[in-house]
Structure 1
């Protein structure tokens, strides 16, 4: 499966470099984020964080992304915690008061550091997956959050740790929520779930992102 994913990504990157499609990506940056032009451009940006940041997109379900944007627009200065850093970190920082993101992969963390340094409201941590350091980063951050994003490793455990840190009326965005290994944790976390299924950025197939509401 990993070989298939790498092959697909490589093919998309090669196609993205073609002159006509470069123009498509450039034009898409000013198009409606939730219509087909920006989504099509995102397919060419899979595993390419520079393109995703330029497109101002996270790798989530499209409808869920719209809902997340509406939620943050209604809460100026929102405090956000994120498990699993990437283009979504910058997308969140452009819309929230502060973003605290924890990443387990040291090389990826180094790749992101100069990108997030342009945003004074991002705090990016690297914590090892072994033991409690990664899961417990939200305890280290302390306090309550308006939005918590669970989109990294050990998601079931991260969800359990996140729930006590959610403000009343806050939301947990849980990506790839249709995967069987996550369903028990989601269904037993004590929060009502709103599932979005359908068109998702970066991939040509429909996928799930869920909101769990405090």
Structure 2
């Protein structure tokens, strides 16, 4: 499966520079973020952090993204904690009061620092995921959060550790929530799940993102 995904991503990167598709991407930047044109352009940006940031998109389910944007619009000073950094980090930084994101991959962390390190409201941590430093980074960040994003490694452990740090009325975004290995932790966490399934950025197939709330 990983070989298929890498081959798919390589193919999309190869054709993204073709003139008609470059035109699509250029036009998509100013189109509806939740419309088909922006979504189609995101397919060309899979695993391409620069293209994704340029498009202004996170790699989540489209409907879940719309719901989170509405939530952040209603909470403009929201504190956000994110497990697993990426284009979503930049997307969140432009909509939230502050963002703390933890990333386990050192090379990816260095690349992201060049993309989001200059944003004054964003703190990007690097912590190894094979010990408590990664899962426990949310305690290191201190305080409680309006939004907690779980989109990295050790997701069930992260969910368990995150819950005491979620503000009343806050939301946990749990990406790829349809995977069997995550279901029990989500169902037993004590929060209500709104499970979005369908069109998702970067991939040509429907996928899941769940929003957990009280």
The TM-score, its normalising length taken from structure 2, stands at 0.99
Instruction: Give the secondary structure class of the aligned counterpart of 1:107.
Output: helix
Give aligned pairs, total: 214
Instruction: Give the secondary structure class of the aligned counterpart of 1:69.
Output: helix
1:117 match = 117
Is 1:83 the counterpart of 2:89? The answer is no
Deviations 1:131-176 (A, max 9, x none): 1000000011111000000000000000000110000000000000
Is 1:100 the counterpart of 2:100? The answer is yes
1:145 match = 145
1:6 match = 6
Distance of 2:169 and 2:148 partners within structure 1: 12
Distance of 2:48 and 2:72 partners within structure 1: 25
- Aligned-residue offset at 1:15: 1.1
Distance of 1:160 and 1:3 partners within structure 2: 31
Structure 1: any 5+ residue segments left out of the alignment? none
Structure 2: any 5+ residue segments left out of the alignment? none
2:210 match = 210
Residue 145 of structure 2 contacts residue 170 of structure 2 at CA under 8 Å; is this kept in 1? yes
| Runs of at least 4 residues off by over 4 Å | none
Deviations 1:87-120 (A, max 9, x none): 0000000000000000000010011111112311
The TM-score, its normalising length taken from structure 1, stands at 0.99
1:26 match = 26
Instruction: Give the secondary structure class of the aligned counterpart of 2:8.
Output: helix
Distance of 2:75 and 2:18 partners within structure 1: 41
Distance of 2:108 and 2:151 partners within structure 1: 15
Deviations 1:5-58 (A, max 9, x none): 110000001111101110100110000000100000000000001000000000
Distance of 1:130 and 1:36 partners within structure 2: 39
Distance of 1:139 and 1:187 partners within structure 2: 23
Residue 117 of structure 2 contacts residue 124 of structure 2 at CA under 8 Å; is this kept in 1? no
Distance of 2:32 and 2:129 partners within structure 1: 37
Q: Please give the root-mean-square deviation of Cα atoms over the aligned residues, in Å.
A: 0.5
Distance of 1:170 and 1:129 partners within structure 2: 25
